[in-house]
Amino acid sequence: MGGRAKSPRSLANGNGRATSPRKQEVDTGENIFLFIPNVIGYSRIVLAVASLYYMPLHPRTCSLLYSISCLLDALDGLAARRFEQSTKFGAVLDMVTDRCTTACLLVFLASAWPRWSIIFQGLISLDLASHYMHMYATLSMGGSGQSHKKVDQSRSWLLNMYYSNNKVLFTLCAMNELCFIALYLLSFSSPTLSPSLLAPANEGSSLQPGTPAVPKPSMLFTSPWSAGAMEMARSNKMDSTVPWFLAAVSAPFMIVKQYINVVQLVKASKWLAEGDRLERKRLGLPRRKGEKTQ
């Protein structure tokens, strides 16, 4: 017969129904875990762990490693935009790394200054609660494709400016961490904040080993004459001038950052409550008295 040749889409199967060829899945071979921004994120974790390793005994080394880890936070964002490698995994990795490293430093400050531990514990709780609530509200109310950094201006102009302006975001985050680093250095160098630094450690002191005033030889350094022990011995003789200056300059930014955390927590809570009201209205809740559940 001289009919037109049928296209593959019009071919019928054994049941007489039209079928279409199976769509081939395109495998690009991309390994998300090895994207450049994510590799930078892994290096941040390594540096953060190294800073924790030196935190009780090496204030200078710890501060240097911790600072580099924080500065790389800006680099991974630049790399993500430059190489078009922005991913959800990278965003979560970045946030989790930030929250964990900051929490670890605040835990040390709480142990260095027991009288003020409730303040540092409160800062840890606020930081974790604020970002978790914001992330959860964004995913549940804005959809899985919504980024936590995309905040509508009508919902909060402050959060919109904070997340949309990279310079504002970087400045506040960097100064917030700088303030905590300065407090960390002051715990080793300032008799004003740590009067125990003035007390001789070998004259009947009741101080517990491991505090900045009485740093015991760490198990990390098997010999008390090692380079680590020398650094430990010098730590109590640090000049507190520079840490005081850094703390004074960065403190206002840290306060603003904590205020933004409060705003973020409140806004996220209200957004979730708004979703709850809509869901309850859709379900016809609350039911009238005497109305039975179907």
Catalytic residue among 73, 76, 98, 127: 98
The CA distance from 186 to 275, in Å, is 46
For tokens 């520079």, name the residue: 242
Residue 35 in tokens: 């994207």
State yes or no: is 98 an active-site residue: yes
The CA distances from residue 1 to 5, 164, 198, 246, 252, in Å, are 10, 66, 106, 90, 87
Helix, strand, coil share (%) of the chain residues, nearest 5? 65, 0, 35
CA angle 268, 178, 162 (to 5 degrees): 30
DSSP-assigned letters across all residues of 7-32: PGGG-B-TTS-B--PPPPPP-----G
The CA distance from 105 to 109, in Å, is 6
Give the count of alpha carbons within 13 A of 110, CB side only: 15
The CA distance from 64 to 273, in Å, is 43
Which residues are tagged catalytic?
A: 98
